Every structure is written in structure tokens, then in C-alpha cells.
């Protein structure tokens, strides 16, 4: 028997969470004006949206 579907989902989710946490921690540590991890998460998310918009030619 191979891994159950739930095990595959959990494994994928774990990897996604680890990657996201690293991105947030990197943003927080590299910018002293970011006061906490919550704000760092917002910064990372907004930057991703901005990058997507720029790649699609939506903004500016």
C-alpha cells in the first residue's frame, strides 16, 4: 500500500507552510521597519500581488 490521500495532502501543506514561513521570516529580518511577523506576512502578500499585476501588465 502507498500513502493515503490525506498523508499526501498533509505533506504538501507542510511544505507550503514551511516555504511561506521562511518568506515571512526573511522579510521580517531584512527590513527593520517591519515590526512583527503579521506585518511581514502582509508585506509578502502585497508584494506577490504587485508582482503578479506587473507581470500581467495591469499596473502601473
Q: Is the model's pTM score more than 0.75?
A: yes
d(CA 56, CA 48): 12
pLDDT(32) > 80: yes
Would the CA dihedral through 16, 56, 38, 24 be positive or negative? positive
Between residues 27 and 59, the one the model is more confident about: 27
Distance CA 38, CA 20 (A): 12
**Residues 44-53: what's their mean pLDDT?**
97
Considering its fold, how many domains does the chain have in total?
1
Domain of residue 14, residue span: 5-56
Is the backbone peptide bond immediately before 60 cis, with ω within 30 degrees of 0? yes
% of the chain residues with pLDDT over 90: 92
pLDDT score recorded for residue 7: 92
pLDDT value at position 37? 98
Amino acid at each position: 500500500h502507498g500513502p493515503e490521500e490525506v498523508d499526501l495532502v498533509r505533506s504538501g501543506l507542510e511544505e507550503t507552510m514551511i516555504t511561506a514561513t521562511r518568506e515571512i521570516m526573511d522579510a521580517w529580518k531584512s527590513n527593520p521597519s517591519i515590526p512583527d511577523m503579521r506585518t511581514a506576512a502582509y508585506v509578502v502578500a502585497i508584494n506577490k500581488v504587485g508582482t503578479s499585476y506587473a507581470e500581467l501588465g495591469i499596473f502601473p
